[in-house]
Amino acid sequence: MRGGFTKLEFLGATRQVTGSSYFLEVGRVKILVDCGLFQERDYSYRNWQAFPVPPDQIDHVLLTHVHLDHCGLIPKLVKEGFKGDILLTPASKALFPIVIQDSARMQEEGAAFKKKRHETEGRKGPYPETPLYTVQDAEKCFALLREVSYEEYMPLNDQVKMCFHDAGHVLGSAMVELTIQDDQGFRNIIFSGDIGQWDKPLLANPATFDRADYVVMESTYGDRNHESPQAIDDKLSKVVNDTISAGGNILIPTFVIERAQDLLYHFSRLANAKEIPYVITFLDSPMAVEITKIFEQFREYFGKQTQGLFKDGQSPFDFPGLKLAESVEASKAINLIKGSTIIMAGSGMITGGRIKHHLAREITRPESTLVFVGYQAAGTLGRQILDGLSLVRILGQSFPVRMKIEKIDGFSAHAGMNDLQRWLDSFKSPPKHVFLTHGEDEAISSLENYINSKSGWQVSAPTYMEEFTL
Ligand SMILES: [Zn+2]
């Protein structure tokens, strides 16, 4: 096997959905595909452990996309000795500094807040009260970023090439293909990254493949389908209209990349069609505002419908009543508004950010509504609320949950069950092996059953730090 794929080790997203990271030795090149933050409470201790592979021995990090569960540990990797390059698509390169600096700020603020709270309460928490990495650490990654366009085969040495294919998941998202050409012939391995949905208004469809020797595939929604775009509009307008009639506010924990822009797109459609009344709508996130500007710079990645809007001089991300709250003062001023408002703020799973402050104010008000528009990982505050916990802790205080809880599934940047099956069906011959990652048990079993029903296919779902010789 010398010169071929020698080792594949699963360093995260194993039977859970965060901390994506796969280590691969291929033709003497050492590669890390993604280096994600563990966001589920049960696994976050891993963020503090030493990397299973010494960072100074890794040659390249290949980044599928800029969600923190795929890139959030890169500053730690660099801090602990990684000196190679970080290959990513041009749009990911534009987004990465914003996302990672924000993550560092959240780490710093979180550590400071914990320290203060523990001092007040006279106790110690399970993790150090120091940030995992600082803004300064995060900035040290920027010099290592190197952009590679979609469909460009980039040599990593004389036998190994890498290529990004559009994953249709978020702006700049990619599937990673690694190929080897040596005296044993041609072989390839495909990392699906996070797979998007087909026929979404903003992004292109996910890439598909005729063949692969090995596939590492996400399975987040392996057991469920999403609602259609029309169902999203119907549900969103009902929530907005009902909550306004009740005199409450609408809070939407928002992932700042893609979800925020998707929401703007849907709200602008509903506002223009007069399906919702004029309502002051805050995008309460300087980062989401900045990211929306980057979206406008990469119009060539959008689907036809959205490109058409831009050509007509309209922005799909703007509508009457929309206010962009960038400063902390602007965010605090939202509290003073009388009458109903819609507030979109990060973070998407309520693990940090301005949404916590809004939630602490609204959660006991039955007239207000909390609308989930994205995946809530196990152990996050978002998941606790969604699972119906009646008492939750926000910013160190306990609150009874009295506001209405709604969930709109169709927004997901992830492929639903049918989409995942469609992606698998595109392979004209069975890969030697499909490794399922990035899913909880039910989702994995469902997809595993589907793959097992296809003749000649082999599938497994690796466990943490499981190693394979390919
Ligand atoms: Zn993602």
Rounded to the nearest angstrom, the distance between the alpha carbon of 169 and the centre of ligand 1 is: 7
* pLDDT mean over 190-207: 93
Rounded to the nearest angstrom, the distance between the alpha carbon of 301 and the centre of ligand 1 is: 17
What pLDDT was estimated at residue 1?
A: 44
pLDDT in tens, 254-289: 988 889 999 999 999 899 899 999 999 999 998 899
Rounded to the nearest angstrom, the distance between the alpha carbon of 2 and the centre of ligand 1 is: 33
* pLDDT mean over 336-354: 91
Q: Which of 142 and 303 is assigned the larger pLDDT?
A: 142
Rounded to the nearest angstrom, the distance between the alpha carbon of 404 and the centre of ligand 1 is: 27
What pLDDT was estimated at residue 113?
A: 81
Rounded to the nearest angstrom, the distance between the alpha carbon of 276 and the centre of ligand 1 is: 30
Which two three-digit tokens encode residue 300? 């060539």
d(C-alpha 22, C-alpha 45), whole Å:
18
Percent of the chain at pLDDT > 70 equals: 99
pLDDT in tens, 56-98: 999 999 999 999 999 999 999 999 999 999 999 999 999 999 9
* pLDDT mean over 101-119: 86
Rounded to the nearest angstrom, the distance between the alpha carbon of 134 and the centre of ligand 1 is: 23
Task: Indicate the pLDDT class of residue 127, thresholds 50, 70 and 90.
Answer: low
- Judge whether residue 40 has pLDDT over 60: yes
List, in order, residues 6 or more apart from 78 with CB less than 8 Å away.
Answer: 55, 137, 140, 141, 144
Q: Which long-range contacts (CB under 8 A, 24 or more apart) does 389-392 make?
A: 392/363
User: Cβ(79)–Cβ(51) under 8 Å?
Assistant: no
Q: Which residues of 402-430 are buried (b: 16+ CB within 10 A; e: fewer)?
A: ebbebebbbbbbbbbbebbbbbbeebeeb
* pLDDT mean over 448-462: 96
* pLDDT mean over 368-392: 94
Q: Which residues of 46-80 are buried (b: 16+ CB within 10 A; e: fewer)?
A: bbeeebebebeebbbbbbbbbbbbbbbbbbbbbbe
Helix 259-272 vs helix 229-246: angle between axes, to the nearest 10 degrees?
70
Rounded to the nearest angstrom, the distance between the alpha carbon of 67 and the centre of ligand 1 is: 5
- Judge whether residue 441 has pLDDT over 70: yes
Rounded to the nearest angstrom, the distance between the alpha carbon of 17 and the centre of ligand 1 is: 10
pLDDT in tens, 325-339: 988 899 999 988 888
What pLDDT was estimated at residue 257?
A: 86
Rounded to the nearest angstrom, the distance between the alpha carbon of 397 and the centre of ligand 1 is: 30
With 0.75 as the threshold, say if the pTM is over it: yes
Percent of the chain at pLDDT > 90 equals: 74
pLDDT in tens, 22-33: 999 998 899 999
Rounded to the nearest angstrom, the distance between the alpha carbon of 11 and the centre of ligand 1 is: 17
d(C-alpha 59, C-alpha 76), whole Å:
16
User: Cβ(414)–Cβ(406) under 8 Å?
Assistant: no
Rounded to the nearest angstrom, the distance between the alpha carbon of 52 and the centre of ligand 1 is: 23
Mean pLDDT score across all residues of the chain: 93
List, in order, residues 6 or more apart from 250 with CB less than 8 Å away.
Answer: 239, 240, 243, 340, 341, 342, 343, 368, 369, 371
User: Cβ(48)–Cβ(128) under 8 Å?
Assistant: yes
Reduced 3-state DSSP string for the chain: CCCCEEEEEECCCCCCCCCCCEEEEECCEEEEECCCCCCCHHHHHHHHCCCCCCHHHCCEEECCCCCHHHHCCHHHHHHCCCCCEEEECHHHHHHHHHHHHHHHHHHHHHHHHHHHHHHHHCCCCCCCCCCCCCHHHHHCCHHHEEECCECCCEECCCCEEEEEEECCCCCCCEEEEEEEEECCEEEEEEECCCCCCCCCCCECCCCCCCCCCEEEEECCCCCCCCCCHHHHHHHHHHHHHHHHHHCCCEEEECCCCCHHHHHHHHHHHHHHCCCCCCCEEEECCHHHHHHHHHHHHCHHHECHHHHHHHHCCCCCCCCCCEEECCCHHHHHHHHHCCCCEEEEECCCCCCCCCHHHHHHHHCCCCCCEEEECCCCCCCCHHHHHHCCCCEEEECCEEEECCCEEEECCCCCCCCCHHHHHHHHHCCCCCCCEEEEECCCHHHHHHHHHHHHCCCCCCEECCCCCCEECC
Which residues are in the CB-under-5-Å shell of ion ligand 1? 67, 194
- Least confident range from 107-116, 256-265, 351-360: namely 107-116
Rounded to the nearest angstrom, the distance between the alpha carbon of 413 and the centre of ligand 1 is: 7
Question: Which of 16, 102, 29 is CA-nearest to residue 66?
Answer: 102
